[in-house]
Amino acid sequence: MWKRDDGVRPPAPPAQPGPTPAPATEAASRPQPFAERPQVNIGKSVIIKGELSGSEDLTIEGQVEGKIELRQNVLTIGPNAKIKAQIVAKSVVVQGEVSGNVAASEKVDIRDSGSVDGDISSPKVAIAEGAHFRGSIDMQRQGAAAVTGAKAPGEVPKTETRPAAPLVPPAPGGAPKA
């Protein structure tokens, strides 16, 4: 006859259906995987004249005339934006129109619908096919300006000396005649 083995038992059903919630203190102490950075939007109907600065990422859809300074943050120029300003930011994404110089400590990205009339200074520059750009680009590496003293191209620093060209005496009897 058949005898059931007491050593083999079917698995016991779970005591509670679903996952067990973590204590509130443990959940609060865990870092969030996708913590959002604060971001501000300036709408299409907004017109700003003057200086604009802040410590949050900024998206501009309206018009700004003057100066924009977000040294530690990302500036996005939306597709409807018209900017006439000097821009200083960590990273700049251009989808609209910018007239003025752009300086970024990380990257300037001009998308296919973007337009920049002005000089760009950034270690990384991306210009999409179809984008408009008129100006010059300076792609010095990060920190290079601080190390070298930010000299202009071709300028010789005051501490640097150049050796004089050796004087070569003329050949005896003057130059040969052809």
Other beta carbons within 10 angstroms of residue 122's beta carbon come to 23
Give percent of the chain above pLDDT 90: 56
| Choice between 35 and 139, residue whose per-residue pLDDT is larger | 139
Q: How far is CA 108 from CA 72, 87, 153, in A?
A: 14, 11, 21
Pair of tokens at residue 29:
């102490």
Per residue in 85-128, pLDDT tens? 999 999 999 999 999 999 999 999 999 999 999 999 999 999 99
pTM of the model: 0.61
Separation of alpha carbons 120 and 118, rounded Å: 7
Reported confidence tier of residue 6, pLDDT bands at 50, 70, 90: low
- From the number of C-beta atoms within 10 Å of its C-beta (0-12, 13-18, 19+), residue 60 rates as buried
Per residue in 143-159, pLDDT tens? 544 333 344 444 444 44
Pair of tokens at residue 62:
């309206």
- From the number of C-beta atoms within 10 Å of its C-beta (0-12, 13-18, 19+), residue 86 rates as middle
What is the sign of the dihedral through the CA atoms of 81, 85, 86 and 88?
A: negative
What is the Cα gyration radius of the chain?
32
Domain boundaries, the chain: 37-132
Arithmetic mean of pLDDT over the chain = 77
pLDDT at 124: 97
- The answer to which of 3-12, 65-74, 106-115, 135-144 has the lowest mean pLDDT is 3-12
| Choice between 84 and 3, residue whose per-residue pLDDT is larger | 84
